[in-house]
Amino acid sequence: MSKLVQGYEVVIGFETHAQLSTNSKIFSRAPTAFGAEANTQACAVDMALPGTLPVMNIGAVERAIEFGLAINAHIAERSIFARKNYFYPDLPKGYQISQFEIPVVQGGEVSFFLEEGKETVRKTVRLERAHLEEDAGKSLHEDFIGQSGIDLNRAGTPLLEIVTRPDMSSSEEAVAYAKELHKIVTWIGICDGNMQEGSFRCDANVSVRKPGEPLGTRREIKNLNSFKFMQQAIDYEVRWQIDQIEDGHTIQQATVLFDPDTGETRAMRTKEDAADYRYFPDPDLPPLVIGRDWVERVKGEMAELPRVMAERFVKDYALPEYDATQLTQSKAVAAYFEATAKACGQAKLASNWIMGEVSRRLNASELSIEQAPVSAAQLAALIGRISDNTISNNAARQVFEGLWNQEGEVDAIIEAKGLKQMNDTGELEKIIDEVLAANPKNVEEFKAGNAKALNGLVGPIMKASKGKANPGQVNALLMKKLG
């Protein structure tokens, strides 16, 4: 059941352009590196000089195959390149080479976890297709000299456009989908995922409807290049559409832009239909033929996929599915977890620490796990000292703090901070007797049946032991002494 906004159901479908990580362009040998001086990376093909012909980059096809395998899609044995015709100054050919009727990747799905209230639910978004296409150039508007220029460096950059079915029903779900997709393409290494540089940009198609009604008219928010803006843009768009409908207007299909400064979406143009582009098969390119042996070879060479790795974590380390998914957010996190779990033999504790304290600290200091000042070996040593009862969980957090601040190794920090748990029963019993003698009222209340009175005893005991008493042991001894 999807969550309603003011009685409306939200429907979202995504189109994502992932720039493929090839060194050269999709139909030419010009380089794709970002940030070069304008027009230094555009060759005759990219500039559409007469007589030039496109030649398919095999690396781009291979990346499309990898993506298809990663999301369990069908990889077409024969797909077709088409011309998408439109005029724009940064498109010298007058058309973009894309795929239309028969895309290379068909179907497939992306699944992820989503927090809904107190529950964590698994969501699956079905993909419609993913197709290969070329990027256009860029128009640069230099307002201060009142001129515009064209930079064709980006022209011909290989893109994989990944299109979902309208399966998402909230901005949170859309962002979770986009994050999962980002994880997949960067994990398999087909895209560098750099959103600021535009290597991974999303268009969100948004509509609303009353439950039970047919799909509403959608507006497409273009080029969202941060997860934060994605969420803000969709939330704004949903409210705007509902207001329009409540005020008696109808929604016009349109392409809109999100302005991060105002937090609003603004119509850019009314939506063209496929027919406006006069798609037709590109006579310059033969059909793209992908034999099963090629797919098999690519499959054999691919690294373990995140979902396969997550399944292995569940099986080999007896982790809950949720933990396994969180720990496979990136290869680096997964490697850190495996190293810790193997070294300490306590997979669930390792998982708790990594998803808890470690990621909290990393987030707070905006570090990635590769930059974590605490190594997997150190974390494993720390966990070892918790499970052999040398330190309490509380003390462990202080040790972790010490590790983070590079104060030394686990045992040295325990020693220096005097955090060793009191495992000497005699010493502890002495403290307990003193506290019992000093708090006769609590003792009486507890004996009269007030279980809460125990807290009034445990606190002073822990304090008197300077936090070094083992809480489990304190409880056991107290129970014994109080009958």
The interface region with Mg ion, picked from 8-16, 62-70, 175-183, 387-395 by CB under 5 A, is: 8-16
The interface region with ligand ADP, picked from 149-157, 214-222, 291-299, 411-419 by CB under 6 A, is: 214-222
Contact flags string 272-311 toward ligand ADP, x per CB under 6 A: --x-------------------------------------
Say how many C-beta atoms besides its own lie within 10 A of residue 208's C-beta. Answer: 27
- The CA distance from 364 to 351, in Å, is 19
Cβ nearer to Mg ion, comparing 204 with 403:
204
The interface region with ligand ADP, picked from 147-155, 180-188, 215-223, 327-335 by CB under 6 A, is: 215-223
218 is an interface residue for ligand ADP by CB under 6 A: yes
The interface region with ligand ADP, picked from 13-21, 91-99, 104-112, 338-346 by CB under 6 A, is: 13-21
Say how many C-beta atoms besides its own lie within 10 A of residue 392's C-beta. Answer: 21
123 is an interface residue for ligand ADP by CB under 6 A: no
**What's the chain's length in residues?**
483
Tokens read off for 36 = 């070069």
CB of 136 to Mg ion, least distance (A): 15
In the chain, the N- to C-terminal Cα span, in Å, equals 52
- The CA distance from 447 to 458, in Å, is 15
11 is an interface residue for ligand ADP by CB under 6 A: yes
Report the partner that residue 166 touches, choosing among ligand ADP, Mg ion, none (CB closer than 5 to 8 A by kind): ligand ADP
By CB under 5 A, what part of segment 9-38 binds Mg ion?
A: 15
By CB under 6 A, what part of segment 368-397 binds ligand ADP?
A: none
**Please, what's the largest Cα pairwise distance for the chain?**
100
Tokens read off for 331 = 């290869």
Report the partner that residue 165 touches, choosing among ligand ADP, Mg ion, none (CB closer than 5 to 8 A by kind): ligand ADP
Instruction: Choose among 260, 185, 258: nearest CA to 222.
Output: 258
**Contact present, 389 and 470 (Cβ < 8 Å):** yes
Instruction: Choose among 342, 359, 403: nearest CA to 378.
Output: 403
67 is an interface residue for ligand ADP by CB under 6 A: no
15 is an interface residue for ligand ADP by CB under 6 A: yes
Q: What are the two backbone dihedrals, phi and then psi, of residue 22, each rounded to the nearest 5 degrees?
A: -80, 155
Instruction: Choose among 159, 183, 163: nearest CA to 111.
Output: 183
**Contact present, 124 and 109 (Cβ < 8 Å):** yes
CB of 382 to ligand ADP, least distance (A): 46
User: What's the Cα-to-Cα distance from 188 to each of 70, 192, 338, 407, rounded to whole Å?
Assistant: 8, 10, 19, 37
Place of tokens 């304190």: 474
CB of 71 to ligand ADP, least distance (A): 15
Question: 58: exposed, middle or buried (C-beta count within 10 Å: 0-12, 13-18, 19+)?
Answer: exposed
CB of 220 to Mg ion, least distance (A): 6
Sole binder of ligand ADP in the list 5, 48, 114, 163 (CB under 6 A): 163
- The CA distance from 468 to 83, in Å, is 73
Question: 255: exposed, middle or buried (C-beta count within 10 Å: 0-12, 13-18, 19+)?
Answer: middle
Contact flags string 19-38 toward ligand ADP, x per CB under 6 A: --------------------
Cβ nearer to ligand ADP, comparing 166 with 471:
166
Report the partner that residue 218 touches, choosing among Mg ion, ligand ADP, none (CB closer than 5 to 8 A by kind): ligand ADP
One DSSP character per residue, 128-197 reads EEEEEEE---EEEEEGGGTEEEEE-SSTT-EEEEEEE-S-B-SHHHHHHHHHHHHHHHHHTTS----TTT
The interface region with ligand ADP, picked from 210-218, 348-356, 365-373, 427-435 by CB under 6 A, is: 210-218
Report the partner that residue 458 touches, choosing among ligand ADP, Mg ion, none (CB closer than 5 to 8 A by kind): none
Sole binder of ligand ADP in the list 8, 9, 13, 22 (CB under 6 A): 13
Could you tell me which residues are beta bridge partners of residue 422?
469
The interface region with ligand ADP, picked from 212-220, 227-235, 439-447, 455-463 by CB under 6 A, is: 212-220
205 is an interface residue for ligand ADP by CB under 6 A: yes
Cβ nearer to Mg ion, comparing 15 with 445:
15
14 is an interface residue for ligand ADP by CB under 6 A: yes
183 is an interface residue for ligand ADP by CB under 6 A: no
164 is an interface residue for ligand ADP by CB under 6 A: yes
Q: Which residue of this chain has its Cβ atom nearest to ligand ADP in the complex?
A: 13
Report the partner that residue 207 touches, choosing among Mg ion, ligand ADP, none (CB closer than 5 to 8 A by kind): ligand ADP
**Contact present, 174 and 204 (Cβ < 8 Å):** yes
Place of tokens 């901070």: 417
103 is an interface residue for ligand ADP by CB under 6 A: no
Say how many C-beta atoms besides its own lie within 10 A of residue 388's C-beta. Answer: 9
Binding site for Mg ion (CB under 5 A): 15
Binding site for ligand ADP (CB under 6 A): 11-15, 163-166, 205-207, 215-216, 218, 274
